[in-house]
Structures are given as C-alpha cells and as structure tokens.
Amino acid sequence: MNSTQGCKQLLRLALLATCLAVANVQAEVVVVVAANSPVSSISRSDVAKIFLGKSRRFADGSRAIPLNQSESNTAREIFYRQVSGKSPAQVKAHWAKLIFTGRGQPPKEASNSAKIKQLLTKNTGNISYLNLSAVDDSVKVLPLK
Amino acid sequence: MTAQVKGDDGQQQAPITPPRDDEGPPSLTKLLGSRISIVQGIFLAMVSVILIALWLTTLQLIESSFAAAKINASRATGELAHTYEAQVVRAVREIDQALNVLKRSYEFDTDQEMLALIDDWGLLLTDFLFVSSIADAKGNVTSSTQAIVGTNIADQDYFRAQVESDQLAISHAWLNPASKTWKLTFSRRINTPDGAFAGIAYTSVDASYFVSGYEDAQLGQRGVLGLIGTDGVFRVRRSGEKVVSGEKTDYRQLIPDAEALEEQEVRLFKHSWDQVQRYTLATQLYEFPLAVILGLSEEEQLQASVALRRLYLQRAGATSVLILLIAGLVFYLSRQLQRSRQRILDEQVSHAQRVEYLAYHDGLTGLPNRSYFSQLLNRGIGEAKRYERRFALLFLDLDRFKIINDTLGHDAGDELLIEVAKRLNQALRETDTVARLGGDEFVVLLPEMNEEAQLSAVARKVLSAVGQPFRLAEQDLRITVSIGISVFPGDGEDEQTLLKNADIAMYHAKEGGKNNYAFYSEELNADSLERLALESSLRQALDEDQFVLFYQEKHDIHSNKITGAEALLRWQHPNLGLVLPHQFLPLAEETGLIIPIGKWVLETACHQAVDWIAQGQAPRCVSINLTARQFTDAHLLGDIREALQSTGLDPQLLELEISENLLLSDFDRGLDILHHIKALGVRIAIGNFGTGYTSLSTLETFQFDTLKIDGSVIRDVTREDSDRQLTEAIIAVGRAMAMTIVAEGVETREQAEFLLNSSCDQVQGFYYDKPSPSKRLN
C-alpha cells in the first residue's frame, strides 16, 4: 500500500469517527430488550444477523424477534449503519432478495419508540433499538461486545 | 590434379573426387534427405506417433471440456429459469392475494379505515417494500399505507385497465420522482354490490424486486434475468448490477410459441438489446400476462473451458517442443555417429580408390600408365581373338623432346607432356585408349581401326594436333611426334610383339625425317634388330675403347712427300671384327653418341700428331671429319680448344673437314661456327666437294684453307669428259681462291697422272697407301 492510499485511508477513518461522534451527540442509538430478558449482552455481528434475517436466535439459543423503528425514524438508519454498515437502500435490497426468494420476512415495524417499548415488554424474545433519550426502566440496554 | 581417362572398354572410369562435403551446419534436407537408417526411420516414426497421440488427446480433452461446459450451461439455464419462474409466480400470486383481500374487504365494507385494519392484521404485503393503496371510482386515492392520500391516479394505466375488466393488471414500469426508482404497480378492481366500478386496490413495488434474486455466482456479470409483459415491454431486466426497465423487445423472438404447453428448450442466441450471446430460456407465465427470461452468457460459461484450452495447448506445445528437442538431440547424435562411421568408410574407400588410381595412372598426365595399358591391351587382344577382330596400336615418341626438356627445364617439359596428353585425348575417340608409357612415349589403342587408310587418317590427325604451336615458358614452340603403327594380329599376337613392332615402326618414322608415321613391316624388323644391337654395342664400344683411328696419308702430288694424314674412325668389334663408319655413324649421329665419340677422335688425333713430332717426324697436319651433329654441338669449340691445350699441338697442324652439305641447312650459323673455329688457328677444309650444291659465293664468303675433291668426282675422270672437265673447273676455282686442293679416293695411276697434269696440290687414296692404324710415317 503506497503513502497516498494510506493517507486516504486515514482521512476516511477520521471522517467516519467524526460522523459517529456527531451522530452520537445528536442521537445515540442503543440496542434494547425487555428489562426482564435473560439476555444481558450481545455482539454487534449477532445483532446484524438478527436484523438482516440471517439468524433468528440469541447466543443462548432462545428465539430472537427483531422489531424495526418506522422508516421515517432516523434511529433506524443510524442503527443499521452501526451494526451492519449498510445504507437504507442496501438494507432494502437485502430484504427484497430475501422476500422475493421466499427466504425470509423483514422485521415488524413499530410506529414509534413508545410502541417499541410496549412490544418489548410483551415478549422477552423481542429485540430492538432506541434513541438513548427514549430509554427507560421498562427496557434493558444491551452493551455491544 | 584432375585426370580424364579415356574409355576403359567403353566404360568411363570415374575420376577420383574429393571427399564429400560433410562439414557445415546440417540442413533439414541434409538431415532427412540423405541416408536414413532403418533404426532412425523407426525412431522418427515413433516420435511422430507420440506427437500425434499427444495432440489428439489434447484436442479431445479440449473438445470434451467444451462439450461438457455447453451441456452444463444449458442445464443450468434450464434449472435457474424454472426456479426464477416459480419465484416470480409466487411473488405475483402473493401480490394478487393481498390485492384480493383488499378488493373483497372494500366491496364488503367501504369503510376508509379498512386498509389500516387489514394492515394491522398482517394481511398486507410488508410495507418495507410494498405500498398498498385504495382509490375511488374517480381515481382519488382514499387510503394508503403511505402518505399519498389525496392524489388522483385516474390517468394511470393500472387504473384505466380496471375500469374495463376485472382482472389483475400489471402496469408498465414508471419512475417514482421522489425516490428516482422504477416502480411496478399491480391493481384489482373494486365493485359496487351491483357490479359497477367502485375504484381499485393497488400496490406498488420497486421493479428491481423481481430481479433481486440475481446471483453473480450463478448468472455472472453478463447473465440476464428479466420480466417481460406479453406486450413485449420489459418490466425489468438485470445483468450484473445493471437494472433496466421499460425497454421494448421482440417478444416473438424470445418466445416463439407462447401457446406451447411443453417445456421450452434452452436456446443459444444473441440478445438484441446488448448483443450478448446467451444460453436462454424464456417462458410465458400461465396465469399472468407476463413472461420470464433467464440467460447465461456463453462467453462467461465457457470461460473456464477457454482457460483450460489455453492451458492444455500450452502444455501440449511445451511438451511437443521438449519431445522434439530430445528427439532432435538423439537424432543429431545418431546422425553424427553414423556420419563419422560413414566418413571413415568413405576415407577407406577413397584411399583404396586413390591407391588403385595411382597404381594404374600416370601421375603427371592422368593417363593410364604402362601396367594399366598392359592390362587393357591384353584384354583387347583377348577380345579381338575371341571375336576375330583386328585392332591397331600407335606408338608415339615426341621429336626433340629432350632438347626442350634440357633448354626450358623439366617443369616446362612436364607441362608440355600434359598438354600433349590433352591433345591426344581430344584428337581421338572416346573408345580409343591413350596411355603414357613413360618419358615422352605415348601409346594409343585403336580398338575398331584396322584399315590402313583409316589408320593413316588417325595418324595424320594426331600429327596435326600435336603439331599446333604450344605456349610454354612464355614462348611459342612447336613439337612434332613420330608415330609407329602395328596391327593385331598381323604385326604380332601378343602385347610385347605388338608394342615392340610399333616401336620399330616409330623409329623408322623418325629416320624418315620425323613428324611422320610409319607402318610396321618385316623388313623394318630386320633393320631394327641390327640397329638395336648396334646401338647398345656403340655405347659399350666407347666405354671399352673399341674405337681406333686409322690414318691415310696425303701426298704432295709433285714431290710425293707426305704432307699430312686424315684420321679415319674404325670400330674394332670383339665379335664382328672391324666395322666401317658408314655402318655405325648414322646411328651414332642419331642417338647423339657421336658427340662423345667425336671428342675422343679429336683428342686421339691431336695426340697422334704430337707423338709423330715427338718421334722425330716432320710436322704434318692431321685432319678430322666433323659430322653435322658435331658441327652444331655447342661444346665443339670448347672441345677443340681443350684438345689443343692438353696436347700442346700447334693449331696449324690440325685440320677440320666439313662436308659441303653441312652448310646447306643453316648457312649463317654454319659460317659463324667456322669463323670461331678458324679464330683458334685451326685449318678448315671443305670436303666431299663436287657432290653437293655449294655455290661459288659460299666459297667466296668463307676462306677455306683446303678444298677436297670427292672421290666420286675423280673416279671416272679418265673415261668421262664431263668428269674431267668438272675436276678441272673445281681445281681452277680452288686455285683462284688460293685454297690447297686435295683429291681424295685416288685409286689408279691414270687418275694420279690426270691430277698431276691438272695442277692439283695434294692427293690421297689407295693408290698411294691404305688407311692403317698409327704407324711410323716416312
């Protein structure tokens, strides 16, 4: 790798870090489950797998049911970028393929964060994401390993 | 040295050729064209078979690889197309199902909230991809899973299609201005309870949804996946990452027989929209106005085979080169081995040929030599005897060759012989054999000549050919040849006799004046035998002191006193007794023996003259005859001087007698010699006068001391007037020129008296005394 490419790479990393920092300041998105869920932590890749229809279980083998924020919610885009690095269009194309080939259905959508929290408490298998500001005692924030 | 050899019984004897040119780089033709042994042939055949097998196998592997790739591509196209068809059918059915739910619900209950309710029930397609809406009979959107309520869609094709009929309608792809993506809309008609048009239920989805199953792993970058309306318009089409909508195509070309219920065949053809050749399967759906198409790029599908083909060809090529190199090396080495063996063989053969050639040919001229000629002659004799044929032999001897050899050198002599050999070959026929027996002797065998006229013609031809001028040692010269001819079987029936007789005839030709030819005859033989014996005896005579000098006195005719003596040569032969000069001098003259003999005579006579004085005799002159050859001999003057010096004889007491004939051949030169002799103080006499044609001017030009009248002139002087008158005239002339006049051969008293009266000075002859060995003179 030559020096020009090295510089570009560095610059890109710096920019990404800055973006994330800004996003975190504006809207820090966290992965959440029901407060009484036995799951206490999860890896980023497991989260990505569950939300992209590649896995339906937690690491302990229990059933995982992903819940999406509505498309208009910025937390959704931030979340997908964080865990899978995919843009909304890429996420959509991914699901289009799964749906078309009959290999999966996208996560259910909840119209807002309150609805999410409500659904989480109904089923401990549910997993979703929230703006940090929307987190309360009803949910448990899962630190990403 | 190149030698052309005349007929060996009509067969050409190949001249020795230099060893073949085996050096230099071996050309292909040389490698393949020249002798190839059986082993080498088998080796070449084996290499060829191996190469052919290698290439056949390679080509077959390539062939089968391509065949397999084609079958695989075709099969994969079929399988993928069927899967795709099933996916499309299911996806469209799902959409139709959801639309039917909406349609039935709204026909049952026109509540505007029905959509949201159904959505909640989970009966709608996921709004992740699909937007489901309801429009009333006027095209106003009354409810939707997205905020598009209030817009009017009355002009859209999916709306207008439902006004007419009650079937699933599929729109053309349309561009969503907000998302810049192509959409497809599916619609169903909503009826009033009495069946009138009440509006539509419709759902929109990205056109790309229907090609989202495109897998690079299966379809590559240039495969094709597509959805076509039965109107021939592509709803969507994807190759690699490129997705296209709305293109019109030739539907009939893609689906030749839409009604065919059997499975369509996979076809390979070039697609009109991107000119890519693909294995293609396009199928019209049974229940929807749609067709699906799936194609695999031929180039991509055969890529592996192409790469494999390149690999195989490279390997086969490399292997071939290796095999050829090894084979070439082995072949080259074997050729080298063979060639060196051959060379050794050739050298042995050529050496043997050369030895044989040298043994049978004259090294100088390349003509057959004596022993080869002997074989040829014996063979000729054998054949002539068997078939009762005659043939002739020519024996050639160059005239004056020895002189040329002595004066111009041996190199010139050799050159002359080579040239003569060449001319002989040119003058004679192929079937004639020319050989060199040695020295300047050549012999010719004429196998088919026997008529004397023919042979004379051949001989003349040879004389003429040899007689042409030569250019030798930077001067032109002529040489002549003398030819003797003998004919089988008349002149001899064996080799030796034929050769000897031809030789005898040749000598005869030489005696006859050279540059001539002669046929052998019995008489010649007799002469010749005597001659041969004489010649060898003459040589012996000189060595063994068999020569003696007799002296005949000369008398003053008046006083009768002895004035001198003429030395006369005699040969005291041990068997034959005394041999007279006319019997051997011509031969001595011819063979050149006269030179040493003449020198001996000169010395002996001078000695005798001195002895006489020493014995107290009155000094008297001794006279000696010179022959023609002696006279022109270059050493004559030296010999005379030496004889005088060694004996101390007064030159005035020596008289040299020359015949008047000697001056006839080359007068000026003769005169020159005479002057030189005279300068020594020696007297000179002209002898045999009256027998030749000496003009008076000759006598006037050179002052002879003595004039000797020939015995034949005075023999009949007493009986014939004419002789008497001639004698008187000679005497008168001699007197007038102040010469001493001597008459020879005086045998009778009458002659003596006549001479006395005629004022002759001196006389000699039998009348006075007979020649005798050295004796005391009174």
pLDDT, tens digit, 9 for 90 and up, residues B455-470: 888 899 998 998 888 8
Which of B120, B121, B212 best tests the A interface by mutation, with the highest count of A CBs <10 A?
A: B212
- Domains of chain A are 28-142 (3.40.190.10)
* Domain B537-773 listed as CATH 3.40.50.300: no
- Chain B interface with A: residues with Cβ < 8 Å: 87, 90-91, 126-129, 206, 208-210, 212-213
Distance CA B535, CA B591 (A): 8
Residue carrying the six token digits 């949804």: B209
Please give the residue of chain B at the shortest CA–CA distance from A108: B126
* Dihedrals phi, psi of B146, to nearest 5 degrees: -130, 165
CA dihedral (B120, B125, B128, B134) positive or negative: negative
% of chain A exceeding 70 in pLDDT: 81
Query: Do B327 and B42 meet the contact criterion of CB atoms below 8 Å apart?
Result: no
Distance CA B106, CA B413 (A): 144
Distance CA B277, CA B304 (A): 17
Please give the residue of chain B at the shortest CA–CA distance from A89: B179
Residue carrying the six token digits 């690699």: B240
Q: What is the DSSP letter of B124?
A: S
Nearest by CB to B87, from A68, A93, A100: name it.
A100
Does the pLDDT at position B1 exceed 50? no
Nearest CA to CA, how far is A119 from chain B (Å)? 14
Tokens representing B626 are 């010179």
- Residue-level pLDDT at B179: 82
Q: What is the DSSP letter of B481?
A: E
Q: B354 exposed, middle or buried (CB, 10 Å; 0-12, 13-18, 19+)?
A: exposed
Q: b/e string for B459-482 if b means 16 or more Cβ within 10 A?
A: beebbebbeeebebeeeeeebbbb
Query: Do B720 and B691 meet the contact criterion of CB atoms below 8 Å apart?
Result: no
Query: Do B672 and B637 meet the contact criterion of CB atoms below 8 Å apart?
Result: no
% of chain B exceeding 70 in pLDDT: 92
Whether omega for the bond prior to residue B619 falls within 30 degrees of 0, making it cis, is no
Provide, as residue numbers in chain A, all residues whose Cβ is less than 8 Å from the Cβ of B130: none
Number of other CB atoms surrounding residue B352 within 10 Å: 10
Tokens representing B410 are 């041996």
Does the pLDDT at position B380 exceed 60? yes
Provide, as residue numbers in chain A, all residues whose Cβ is less than 8 Å from the Cβ of B183: none
Please give the residue of chain B at the shortest CA–CA distance from A71: B128
Which of A99, A105, A119 best tests the B interface by mutation, with the highest count of B CBs <10 A?
A: A99
Please give the residue of chain B at the shortest CA–CA distance from A102: B87
Query: Do B516 and B509 meet the contact criterion of CB atoms below 8 Å apart?
Result: yes
Does the pLDDT at position B362 exceed 90? no
Q: CB contacts < 8 Å between A and B, how many?
A: 37
A92 to B91: CB separation less than 8 angstroms, yes or no: no
CATH number of B211-300: 3.30.450.20
Q: Where in chain B are the domains?
A: 211-300, 370-520, 537-773
Q: What is the mean pLDDT of residues B568-587?
A: 83
A97 to B212: CB separation less than 8 angstroms, yes or no: yes
Does the pLDDT at position A23 exceed 50? no
Distance CA B353, CA B16 (A): 7
A100 to B210: CB separation less than 8 angstroms, yes or no: yes
B87 to A97: CB separation less than 8 angstroms, yes or no: no
Task: Grade residue B316 by pLDDT with cuts at 50, 70 and 90.
Answer: very high
Please give the residue of chain A at the shortest CA–CA distance from B147: A72
Distance CA B368, CA B372 (A): 6
Say which CATH class B370-520 falls into. Answer: alpha beta
Q: B623 exposed, middle or buried (CB, 10 Å; 0-12, 13-18, 19+)?
A: buried
Tokens representing B386 are 């068997």
A93 to B213: CB separation less than 8 angstroms, yes or no: no
% of chain B exceeding 90 in pLDDT: 40
pTM of the model: 0.49
- Residue-level pLDDT at A13: 58
Tokens representing B394 are 């020519």
Q: What is the DSSP letter of B152?
A: B
Distance CA B505, CA A63 (A): 146
Which of A87, A97, A100 best tests the B interface by mutation, with the highest count of B CBs <10 A?
A: A100
- Condensed to tens digits (0 to 9), the pLDDT of residues B665-676 reads 677 888 888 999
Number of H helices, E strands in chain A: 5, 5
**The dihedral formed by the CA atoms of B300, B302, B307 and B313, expressed in degrees to the nearest 10:** -160
Distance CA B251, CA B229 (A): 9
Provide, as residue numbers in chain A, all residues whose Cβ is less than 8 Å from the Cβ of B209: 96, 99-100
- Residue-level pLDDT at B695: 66
Pairwise pLDDT comparison (B532 vs B134), residue with the higher score: B134
Task: Grade residue B476 by pLDDT with cuts at 50, 70 and 90.
Answer: confident
3 state SS of B705: coil
Rg of the Cα trace of chain A?
A: 16
Distance CA A56, CA A60 (A): 11
B87 to A102: CB separation less than 8 angstroms, yes or no: yes
Provide, as residue numbers in chain B, all residues whose Cβ is less than 8 Å from the Cβ of A101: 87, 212-213
B212 to A96: CB separation less than 8 angstroms, yes or no: yes
Q: What is the mean pLDDT of residues B209-219?
A: 92
Q: What is the ipTM of this complex?
A: 0.72
Does the pLDDT at position B653 exceed 90? yes
A100 to B209: CB separation less than 8 angstroms, yes or no: yes
- Condensed to tens digits (0 to 9), the pLDDT of residues B680-705 reads 999 999 887 777 666 677 777 888 89
Q: What is the mean pLDDT of residues B4-22?
A: 40
Nearest CA to CA, how far is B89 from chain A (Å)? 10
Mean pLDDT, chain B, rounded, equals 86
